Amino acid sequence: MQESDAKKPRGRSAIEAAHGNVTSEDEARLDLMISDLYEVDSDEAAEIHLNYHVDRMFAAITRRCAEKGITTNTIADRLRYLDFSGAAYQVAKGRLSEAAAVDALFRSLRAIENQDRDDRYINFYG
């Protein structure tokens, strides 16, 4: 192994480094970089990229729920109704920012939790 190979970031840190200052157009191209990094085909690289965003979005939702006082049991019960994979796919393809996806998922989680309350956005726009 060459010295330069030993200093290259590997695993999750390599993917995080590649995501630094990435625009939405660049996000869709990261699958190729992941394919080269892990020496896998494009389908597996896309899956690695998708799972990376699922993990980050799950962590962000969990943090936000904890800040809002939503219990761990409630989070676990409600998360099965959220489409993390679909949102992460949109993020990985550069169609949606990760922050916007987390906001949408959190709003959906809150809507599930507060089904009896009206959503002011739906009332205003709907």
Q: Which residue has the higher pLDDT, 27 or 50?
A: 50
Closest Cα to residue 102, out of 49, 69, 48, 64? 64
Closest Cα to residue 95, out of 87, 83, 105? 87
Q: Report, as an integer, the average pLDDT of 11-35.
A: 74
pLDDT of 48 higher than 80: yes
Closest Cα to residue 79, out of 101, 52, 110? 110
Distance in angstroms (rounded) separating the CA atoms of residues 100 and 25? 16
Whether pTM exceeds 0.75: no
Q: Which residue has the higher pLDDT, 60 or 14?
A: 60
- Burial of residue 109 (CB within 10 Å: 0-12, 13-18, 19+) is buried
- Contact predicate 48/58, CB 8 Å: no
* Distance from the Cα of residue 34 to its chain's centroid: 16
Distance in angstroms (rounded) separating the CA atoms of residues 69 and 48? 32
pLDDT tens-digit series, residues 62-96: 999 889 888 878 888 888 888 989 999 999 998 99
